[in-house]
Amino acid sequence: MRSTRLVTVALKSIVKNKMRTLLTMLGIIIGVGAVIVMVAVGEGAQSQIADQIQNLGTNMLVITPGSSNAGGVSQGSGSFNRLKDTDADKIRSESAFIAGISPVIFTRTQIVGGNGNWRSTVHGVSTDYPVIRNWALTSGRFFDVAEERTGKKVMVLGATIAENLFPNSDPVGQKVLVRNIPVEIIGVLAKKGQTPEGNDQDDVALAPFLTVQRRLSNFTFIRQILANTYSSDDIAKAQEELKGIMRESHGLAAWEPDDFEIKNQDQLSEAAQGTTQVMTMLLAAIASISLLVGGIGIMNIMLVSVTERTREIGIRMAIGARGADVLTQFLIESIVMSIFGGAIGVGIGIGGAKLVASLTGWNTVVSPDIIVVALVFSAAVGIFFGFYPARKAASLNPIDALRFE
Amino acid sequence: MNDTKPVVEVKGIRKTYVMGKTEVHALRGVDLTIEKGELIAIMGTSGSGKSTLMNIIGGLDYPTSGAYLLDGIEVNKLGKNALADIRNQKIGFVFQGFNLLARTSALENVELPLLYDRTHKIKNHRKAAIDSLTLVGLGDRVDHYPNELSGGQQQRVAIARALVTNPSLILADEPTGNLDSRTTVEVMQLFQELNAKGITIILVTHEDEVARYAKRIVVLRDGRIIKDALQQPDSASADLVKLIQRQEIEHDEPELAV
Ligand SMILES: Nc1ncnc2c1ncn2[C@@H]1O[C@H](COP(=O)(O)OP(=O)(O)OP(=O)(O)O)[C@@H](O)[C@H]1O
Ligand SMILES: [Mg+2]
């Protein structure tokens, strides 16, 4: 009853002194707004990375060579911890969960033809590759099993190469030179965009594995083996199964550690998000400092306001307010102002996040969690920084307060 | 409340302010008993200790030594919170500078003491405040803000605020100090009216013009009572009638048509 009245008194005092209220809240408004925008930018970046990883393929598993160090002892030449095309063959013939599989071999080279030449990367892959990567064609066709087996000199161009070498025309049927070897273009891939690292996925050409391995490059080093499962439910089981097949294929004894790594897309996005997470936390920390400064601002103005309102406090005490009543009133005022300021800050933060998104084209995400955190934090700031001024007000001597000019 | 018991019993009160090495003896042994229904003026030159005595009687300050009983309660032995409750329940303050809250309507100002009333003896704050304002003749000004009221009206609001908790005692320190002579008489008329209803009133003044409306005069000098005498008070309402008549003769102009 009395405490609800004290709330009313505090609210009235806040409403009656709009300028003072606004100044008090300003720091919190800016602080919370900054936190919301910063975290929105960080989370936006993270969700973009997650999207990009999902965009890499469907139900995809990636096998890469493991580190050549095991138990701190270098494994020498490391020849046996490389991936081999026999690994892929073994998986293809033995696995129950794997729908498609493709070893990937790269060569960085000049592609000459059409408008001139273009430096790019040619990937040697299997016919399963476009399915695993969920990659459609805009023109032509992908190579078939026969072309793959015979290592035919055919190639599918990524959108970036196609645009650069053959602007405004369909390259299908044309020939390009790769290391002076003529290769026929049989298809063009749809645009896929950037990887989380910012690489252009479309700046690539795909050719049959054998073609790249035997004819276009002298490398036999397989960078990765891509595989996919029939359904997302199989991913964990497939991962386990692939591990066994790979260990067998590499002839590892029971005590030897894996010399390869198998990651699914969730694990890939976690890894890719690591740095962004640090960045998000850093941004949030910086923004939190402004919230802290906002809190100090509240304390500052509350302290000034206690001095300014000394007479009011004296009057209240003379007519029977206890120290606790004055303390409660000032504390409620500061909490209400900081929560209210926090709410305005949330509004401004949401608007700011949208503005940043539209100005920079970045992805920004304002999650409900951060709104709740910001509001709770504002209230905490109000209590923490309001307490000292409120204590000061409550400890005034009524006679001195009344005499104060 | 027992009518035979005095409202205020001050026994051998001393108040010493220590300022660095010097000691200021504001009160040097004051004995004073005030019965219910008195209208008493405390007089004395500046610095004689009037306000100091009022602050102690009003429960705003503690005496350095001596005893003070209010309605039989040993106030000088109470803690801060109990003292705040005493101020709320038993004492109504009226100050020279009115001390109303700015940007707060007359009604809200008068309601204020009820906010801190822990006994909840008055249920309807608004009604009590309006009654109190009506009693001081401001029933038609309840929603006015202090800056929309004359000095005399502001002091009436302050008196209404002092009355709203039905205190045992009204303490007024130089209540007319900021008012002109006519308004002074008006306020004194109000005090006399309230006193006639049985309310005990102590006022501090150094003007004989004000003190002559009191029933009893106490004079302080250097922290001691040097005179304590009953007197036949003048009637403020009679003086007011005379004042109005005189002003009407001085400003005998035809009324302006609106
Ligand atoms: N807080 C204080 N600290 C030190 N000395 C004080 C304090 N309050 C009052 N005094 C001193 O006590 C004495 C009595 O002061 P008090 O205010 O009671 O006088 P007063 O009679 O009310 O005077 P006035 O008519 O000017 O209001 C004065 O000498 C004054 O300087
Ligand atoms: Mg004084």
| Length of chain B measured in residues | 258
Which residues on chain A are in Cβ contact (under 8 Å) with B165?
320
Give the residue, by CA position, lying nearest to ligand 1 atom 10.
Answer: B26
Helix (H, G, I), strand (E, B) or coil at B109: helix
Give the residue, by CA position, lying nearest to ligand 1 atom 16.
Answer: B49
**CA of residue B178 to ligand 2 center, whole Å:** 13
Distance from CA of A305 to the nearest CA of B (A): 14
CA distance A239 to A63: 10
Distance from CA of B2 to the nearest CA of A (A): 24
How is A201-219 classified by DSSP, letter by letter?
TTSEEEEEHHIIIIII-S-
Cβ partners under 8 Å of residue A89, min gap 6: none
Work out which ligand 1 atom sits closest to the CA atom of A403. Answer: 1
- Cross-chain Cβ contact B104/A399 below 8 Å: no
Relative to beta strand A137-140, strand A116-125 is: unpaired
- Cross-chain Cβ contact B101/A324 below 8 Å: no
Residue B152 has pLDDT above 50, yes or no: yes
CA distance B139 to A206: 93
Q: Could you report the per-residue pLDDT of B215-234, keeping only the tens digit for each?
A: 999 999 999 999 999 999 99
**CA of residue A400 to ligand 1 center, whole Å:** 12
| Ligand 1 proximal residues by C-beta, below 6 Å | B 17, 19, 24, 26, 44, 46-52, 206
CA distance B147 to B64: 39
Cβ partners under 8 Å of residue B59, min gap 6: B70, B75, B78, B83, B86, B87, B90, B91
Which residues on chain A are in Cβ contact (under 8 Å) with B84?
317, 320-323
Q: Could you report the per-residue pLDDT of B63-106, keeping only the tens digit for each?
A: 999 999 999 999 989 999 999 999 999 999 999 999 999 889 99
Name the more confident of A42 and B201: B201
- Containing H/E element for A336? helix A323-360
* Nearest Cβ partner for B60 among A1, A12, A399: A399
Residue B210 has pLDDT above 60, yes or no: yes
Selected for mutation to probe chain B from A319, A322, A397, A399 (highest B CB count within 10 Å) is A319
Distance from CA of A280 to the nearest CA of B (A): 46
Direct distance between the N- and C-terminal alpha carbons of chain A, in angstroms, rounded to an integer: 33
3-state helix, strand, coil in chain B (%, to 5): 35, 25, 40
pLDDT the model gives residue A2? 65
Among B23, B28, B42, B48, say which to mutate for ligand 1: greatest number of ligand atoms within 8 Å of CB: B48
For residue B45, the tally of other CB atoms under 10 A from its CB is: 12
- Cross-chain Cβ contact B99/A323 below 8 Å: no
Which residues on chain B are in Cβ contact (under 8 Å) with A318?
58, 60, 87, 93, 99
Residue pair B14/B29 in contact by the 8 Å Cβ criterion = yes
**CA of residue B31 to ligand 2 center, whole Å:** 19
pLDDT the model gives residue A71? 45
Does the structure's ipTM exceed the value 0.90?
A: yes
3-state secondary structure A113-138: ECCEEEEEEEEEECCCHHHHCCCCEE
- Classify B22 in phi/psi space as left (phi over 0), alpha (psi -120 to 50) or beta: beta
Residue pair B223/B28 in contact by the 8 Å Cβ criterion = yes
Which residues on chain A are in Cβ contact (under 8 Å) with B81?
322-324
- Cross-chain Cβ contact A325/B116 below 8 Å: yes
How is B115-173 classified by DSSP, letter by letter?
HT-TT---S-HHHHHHHHHHHTT-TT-TT--GGGS-HHHHHHHHHHHHHTT--SEEEEE
Give the tokens for residue A114: 């059409």
Distance from CA of B125 to the nearest CA of A (A): 11
Which residues on chain A are in Cβ contact (under 8 Å) with B118?
2
Distance from CA of B4 to the nearest CA of A (A): 27
pLDDT the model gives residue A219? 66
- Cross-chain Cβ contact A322/B161 below 8 Å: no
* Nearest Cβ partner for B87 among A1, A17, A318: A318
Amino acid letter, residue A36: I
**CA of residue B50 to ligand 2 center, whole Å:** 6
pLDDT the model gives residue A1? 54
Q: Calculate Rg over the CA atoms of chain B.
A: 19
pLDDT the model gives residue B3? 55
Which residues on chain B are in Cβ contact (under 8 Å) with A16?
103-104
Amino acid letter, residue B50: K
CATH class of the domain whose range is B36-56+79-247: alpha beta
Work out which ligand 1 atom sits closest to the CA atom of A399. Answer: 1
Q: Calculate Rg over the CA atoms of chain A.
A: 33
Cβ partners under 8 Å of residue A67, min gap 6: none
Helix (H, G, I), strand (E, B) or coil at A32: helix
3-state secondary structure A350-369: HHHHHHHHHHHCCCCCCCHH
pLDDT the model gives residue B22? 93
- Cross-chain Cβ contact A319/B161 below 8 Å: yes
Consecutive 10-residue runs of chain A (405 residues): their mean pLDDT? 77 86 88 90 84 81 73 45 82 89 90 87 92 90 91 92 89 90 93 81 92 78 88 87 90 86 84 78 83 83 87 94 92 90 94 93 88 89 90 91 84
CA distance B158 to B110: 7
**CA of residue A330 to ligand 2 center, whole Å:** 30
By CB neighbour count within 10 A (0-12 exposed, 13-18 middle, 19+ buried), where does A177 fall? middle
Map out the domains of chain B as residue ranges: 36-56+79-247
Residue pair A125/A234 in contact by the 8 Å Cβ criterion = no
Q: Could you report the per-residue pLDDT of B44-54, keeping only the tens digit for each?
A: 999 999 999 99
Distance from CA of B54 to the nearest CA of A (A): 11
pLDDT the model gives residue A78? 44
| B95–chain A Cβ distance below 8 A for any pair | yes
Which residues on chain B are in Cβ contact (under 8 Å) with A19?
none
* Nearest Cβ partner for B93 among A311, A318, A321: A318
How many CA atoms within 13 Å lie on the side-chain side of A344?
Answer: 15
CA distance B192 to A351: 64
Ligand nearest to the CA of B220: 1
Residue pair A124/A109 in contact by the 8 Å Cβ criterion = no
Map out the domains of chain A as residue ranges: 3-52+271-403, 81-258
Residue B238 pLDDT level (bands cut at 50, 70, 90): very high
Nearest alpha-carbon partner for B196 in B154, B157, B233? B233
Direct distance between the N- and C-terminal alpha carbons of chain B, in angstroms, rounded to an integer: 54
How is B202-228 classified by DSSP, letter by letter?
EEE-S-HHHHTTSSEEEEEETTEEEEE
